[in-house]
Amino acid sequence: MQQALEIKKEDYLNSLILEMKSRGFSRKTIKAYVLHVNQFFMSNKNFQELSIENISKYFVSLTGKIDPRTINLRISAVKFFFKNVLKKEIEINYMKRPKRLPEVLTQDEVLCIFEATENPKHSLMLKMCYGCGLRVSEIRNLRKEDVRPKEGIMFVRQGKGMKDRIVSLPSSISEELQPFLLQDFPYIFRSERGSKVHLRTIQMIVKNAAKKAGIKKYVHPHTLRHSYATHLLEAGTDLRIIQRLLGHSSVKTTEIYTHISAGLIKKVVSPLDRLNFAKHAI
C-alpha cells in the first residue's frame, strides 16, 4: 500500500514537472515547486482528501518556523499543483510579509570594491553587475554576441520572467571587455573548468571583494543591482526608464528605490530646520 502511494506521488510530481515545462517555467522555479509540493506530500499523507481548512492550517503551522516569503512560495507551489494537476481550485491566503528595505552601497563604497579587486575577470564581473544592473543569473548567461560596445548597448536574453531587455553598456569598460569578446567561448565569463561560470562563484567573488574593501554591510550580487537603480534615481533618471532597465513588470516593484535613496532623503529639509529660532530667542 505504501509503495503504491509512493508511486502515485511520483506520478503527480512528474505531471507537475511536465505542466511547468510546458508553460516555460525556469529550471530554478521547477526545482523549487517540486521540492515544496513534495514537502507538502510528506506532511499530509492523504493530501487529495484534505479540506481547504486543513490545508490552511498546515501553512499556518509553519509560521514562526519559516520565513513568510518561503511559506508564500510553498503556498504558490501547492495552489499551482492543485489547480493544474489535481484540477481543483483552492483559495489559500498568503502570509503577510515583513517589509524590509534592501541594502544599498554608497558610490564611494562601490568604488572601494572595484579598487580592491585585482583579478581582471572578477573586476569586469563586478562592474557589469553594478554598471548594467544585472542579476547574478544574467551575468552567468551573458553571451558575447549580445554585447555591442560600438552601439553602447547590451541585450539581456531571457531574464527573470523569460523576458529580453536592452540595457546601456558603460563606455568605461569597453577596453576591459575586449579580451573576453575575443576568447573562443560563447559566453563572456568562463569558469576554470571551461564551462559557464557558476552562480555560487559569482556570489563568492562579490562577497570577498566587499570584505577586502572593508565594507561592513552584507553585500551580495543583488546589492550591486540595488545600488545601480538607487544611484540612477539619485542622478535624476525617470523611474519608468529604471523599470525598463531592471526588467521589472510593474513600476510598483521599482518604486522601492524611492524609499531607500539616501541622496533623495538628504535633500528633504526637516521642518525643524525651517524654524527661525533666532527670532524667538530671549
For the annotated catalytic residues, the residue numbers are: 135, 160, 222, 225, 248, 257
CA dist., res. 14 & res. 278, Å (int): 76
CB atoms within 10 A of CB 93: 10
CB atoms within 10 A of CB 64: 7
What count of Cα atoms within 13 Å lies in the side-chain half-sphere of residue 81? Answer: 28
Measured CA angle at 140 (ends 253, 70), to 5 deg: 45
- What residues does 156 pair with on adjacent strands? 165
- What residues does 147 pair with on adjacent strands? 154
CA dist., res. 254 & res. 258, Å (int): 8
Q: How far is CA 114 from CA 51, 86, 103, 139, in A?
A: 55, 52, 18, 17
CA dist., res. 17 & res. 40, Å (int): 16
